[in-house]
Structures are given as structure tokens and as C-alpha cells.
Amino acid sequence: MHFALTDDQRAIQESVRSFLAKTAGLERLRAAIASPEGWDADLWTSLAVEMGYAGLMVPEAYGGSGVGAVAMALVLEETGGRLTVAPFFETAVLAVQTILNAGTPRQKEALLPAIADGTTKATMAITGLEGRPSPDGITALLTRDGNGWLLNGEAGFVPFAHVADLLLVVARAPETANGAGISLLALPAESAGVVIERQPPLDLTRPFCRVRFQNVTVSDDLVLGEAGKAGPSLERALTIGAGLLAAEQTGGAAFCLATTVEYAQQRVQFGRKIGSFQAVKHTLADMMVAVEAARSAALYAAAAIDQGTPELIEACSVAKSWCSDAYRLCAGEAIQLHGGIGFTWEHHAHLYFKRAWSSSTWLGDPAHHRERVARLIGLTGASEGSTP
């Protein structure tokens, strides 16, 4: 695959980088996570409404700009580097891809324009309280009830559900397993019977919620596509989501590297700047290699998404597994190389460390995606499992 950024893509990258450099500093991040709602509403408005980034992957026919996954990956690298505390990825990637892959033309016309212009904030309820990857982790049940449906059960680890307007809920029919009987629902968050509770956070910058469904009435028009037949659409949407989450992880890893290099050039120990010590140099070099490889993997996955190449699944799983490991490495080394200050609550390093570990387990952990790649390339002994 030949790959190079276009002038338009570079312009998007520069615009979001410049914008976030002015508006999304660490002080604003701290203020957002300390607020009662735990998110930055003004930053969401700027990103989604004023800058129009929420519609990057929404086709022009549905009110978006339709510039594709590579442009979105460039934006996500910058938002990941700033730990943007807003449901941007959840809305602009997961929700958009779910609706595009599962919805009917009428449902796309009804839902996507409001997402593209930032009017609707959305998130996705994928798994149960144990957090297992889909489809094994789906525990919400959808049953027929007269002319409509009833939704019961619980979903765990639903990011930003407490501020979302729209819930994309994954449910299955009773007594079904694996990819069978799966439905995707576009459920207004204020629907009767929906109870949203914030969970104690590990990652303060991406708050997760527990969502309970208690005899929620679901009309046919809220079921995306055909009930019970959404397994393939879900697989594709989550595959794309995992591939683009890798770009966000790359941004976080790159920020850890940049701030650690800056610190190593300033901190003096034993009469020398610590960046002059060989052990520190080697560690920083390892971090740089990890970041550059992560960026290549993430952009390759994004290009595969745009071009619809046969290796899309493989590329996205490779990117998610590698970028998860790279982010965890860089976030951990950032704490170590910052020394005592890096372990304090006041320093930013722990926020990136927690985001690195939280992101690595979301949408399938590295081991899950490596097993997936092993099956795709025909390695024997790879355990049977499901897509993320």
C-alpha cells in the first residue's frame, strides 16, 4: 500500500494541533476531571460544533465532511495527546461507524446529521459488567413484546454515558450465543427504564458508567437494520473502532515521550542533566522507537479502513495490540524518568499512565488482538475466540 498524507490531511492535523495547544492544557484537563460531571463541555462544543471534527467520517450525504479515517486518525492522535475529556471518540468514531454499518438509509438520515454537527453526543454500550470482548460479553437481552421489543439487563464500562444523548446498545436474543441473535439499538439516553450510574474510575479522563435496562420499550424504528442480524455490522464497527483507538493511543504515547525528553534536558543530577546519562538515553530511544512504530501501525490501519482493503481486520488488530503496548511502555517510563515528582498526584504522568492501561483493555486487549491476527494468518494453536 502506498501511503502519504495529502495537503488537506496535513491541514486538518495542523489545525487541530494548533487549536488544542491553545485550548486544552493540563490546567483545563485538571479542572474538567474535578468538575461534578467530570468532562469538558466547552471543549466538546469547540471540537464538534465549531471545528466540525465530529463529522469527519460522516458522508456528505448525511451532513458530514466525509474525509475519512486517516484524517480522523490525525485528529485522534492530537486529542489523545491532550487527554481530551469529552465523548469525541465515542461519538465521532464508534457511534458513526455503528450507524453506518448497521442502519437503514432512513435511520442514517435521521441520526447522522445531528452527530455530524455536534448536536448529539453518543456512546456505545457493548459489554456486560465483566467487560469481556464482544460478542461473548454481551449480556443485555432483547425480547419481542407485541409490536415492539423489551430490553433488559446491564452494560458495564460505557464511556461518558452520563452525558450522552444517544446510547448505541448491543443486545442479544435469549438463548443465543457467539455472533447469533445480536441486535443494535439506537436508544435515547432519557428513555424510560434506562438507569445510568457512574462507576468508580481508574481513568479519570474517560469516565465509565454502568447502565441498567429495566423493561425498556424499544420500537422497531430504534433497532438498527434487522433485529438479530447485526453481528457482522457490529464486528466491522468495532474493528474500525479498535484501529482508530490506536491513533488516540499513539498520541498519548507521543506526549509522554515529548514531555519526558523535555524534562531530561532540564533536570540536573550529580552536576549533569539526566538526559546525558546513557541509561536515560537508551530508555528514551526505546520510547521513540515504540512511538514511531505505533504511528506507522495506526496510520496503516486508518488507510486500510479508507481503502477497504482485505487486510483491514489484520491491520486494525495489529495497530490496537502494538499501540496499547507502546502507550503502556511510554507512560510507565515517563513516571520512572521523572523520578519522585512523577509519582505525585499533582503531576500529569499518572493521568497518562491510567489512560494507557484503560485504553489497552477497551475494545479488546493486546492478547485478544494478537490471537485474532494469529487466526487470520493461519497459525495453528491460536485459541478460538471472538472479535472485539
User: DSSP string spanning 204-233?
Assistant: TTS-EEEEEEEEEEE-GGGEESSTTB-HHH
Model pLDDT, residue 381: 61
What the block records as the C-alpha cell of 239 is 474493528
Question: Radius of gyration of the chain from Cα atoms?
Answer: 21
What the block records as the C-alpha cell of 353 is 499512565
Helical (H) or strand (E) element with 194: strand 194-198
Model pLDDT, residue 4: 80
Residue type, 249: Q
- Predicted TM-score (pTM) of the model is 0.94
| Residues recorded for the chain | 388
Q: Could you report the per-residue pLDDT of 352-375, keeping only the tens digit for each?
A: 999 999 999 999 999 999 999 999
Locus of grid cell 448529539: 120
Structural domains in the chain?
A: 7-120 (1.10.540.10), 124-228 (2.40.110.10), 232-376 (1.20.140.10)
Cα diameter, the chain: 79
Model pLDDT, residue 2: 63
Phi and psi for 325 in degrees, rounded to 5? -65, -40
Q: How is residue 271 annotated by DSSP?
A: T
132 contacts: CB under 8 Å, gap ≥ 6: none
Bond prior to 201 in cis (omega within 30° of 0): no
Strand partners, 155: 211
Q: Could you report the per-residue pLDDT of 242-263, keeping only the tens digit for each?
A: 999 999 999 999 999 999 999 9
| Positions in the chain whose pLDDT score sits under 70 | 1-2, 380-388
